Amino acid sequence: MNYLSINLRGIRDSKKADWVRGLKTSHGAHFVAIQETKVPGNITFLVNRLWGRSLFEFDAVESTGRSGGLLTIWDPSIFVKSGVVKNRNFLAVFGNMTSSGDLIAVVNVYAQNDPGDRRILWADLIQLKNTFSGMWVFLGDFNDVRWQEERLNSEFVALNAQHFNQFIAEADLVEYQMGGRQYTYRVG
């Protein structure tokens, strides 16, 4: 299953919708996770523009005013949803992969800028992970880096990296090395 995660800082712009749809199509994404939708209320009318003409299902966490908001869209022929957990800072979708029946949880994360709030989020995500056995995929905007080399044009705070690395270890996650130019992606 291919994933696309992107922080759009607002999704109303039709150029952004076209760009996301193009990325989804060109990379064969089955799951699209968008952070910072900045749209309060019902966003159904925007999802079709982002996904295209093929079948899709989605779930969302509304923004608070013009702040935050999460949207996760997926191909129902690849993934069948059985449950969801919503929080201001994450949207966890649980289900089965249609090809194998394997249980999987896909978590769209948007971490706040405040380090204390992020530490609370890391604890909440570990607690959530302990409630569901199966495969887990965490993607999104974590607003943290693991190593100093990853921080470009901003201040590196070793304590924040330590807490983020501790979260990754406690959640038993594996970070895939990814690369790109205007975005980061992993094909395959």
pLDDT tens-digit readout, 73-123: 999 999 999 999 999 999 999 999 999 999 999 999 998 878 888 899 989
Give the residue with greater pLDDT, 62 vs 14.
62
Strand bridging mode 90-97 / 103-110 = antiparallel
Strand-pairing partners, residue 33, are: 5, 72
| 181: in domain | no
Contacts of the segment 25-30: beta carbons below 8 A, 24+ positions apart: 25/52, 27/2, 27/185, 27/187, 28/2, 28/187, 29/2, 29/3, 29/4, 30/1, 30/2, 30/3, 30/74, 30/75, 30/78, 30/79
In a domain, 187, yes or no: no
Strand order across the 3-7 sheet:
3-7, 31-35, 70-74, 57-61
Can you give the pLDDT at residue 92?
97
Rounded alpha-carbon distances, angstroms, from residue 11 to 8, 53, 112: 6, 18, 19
3-state secondary structure of 15: helix
Please check whether residue 182 lies inside any domain of the structure: no
Q: What is the pLDDT of residue 137?
A: 92
Q: Domain span at residue 54? A: 3-170
Q: 73 lies in a domain?
A: yes
* 175 within a domain of the structure (yes/no): no
* Spatial distance between the Cα atoms of 98 and 104, rounded to a whole number of angstroms: 11
**Position 35 in a domain:** yes
Looking at residue 105, its pLDDT comes to: 96
State the pLDDT at residue 149. Answer: 64
Residue 183 lies in a domain: no
Per-residue model confidence as pLDDT tens digits over 18-66: 888 888 888 888 999 998 887 777 777 788 888 888 899 999 998 877 7
Whether 188 is in a domain gets the answer no
Task: Give the per-residue pLDDT at 133.
Answer: 87
Strands 31-35 and 103-110: unpaired
* pLDDT value of position 146: 57
CATH number, residue 20: 3.60.10.10
How many domains, the chain?
Answer: 1
- Segment 115-142 shows an average pLDDT of 89
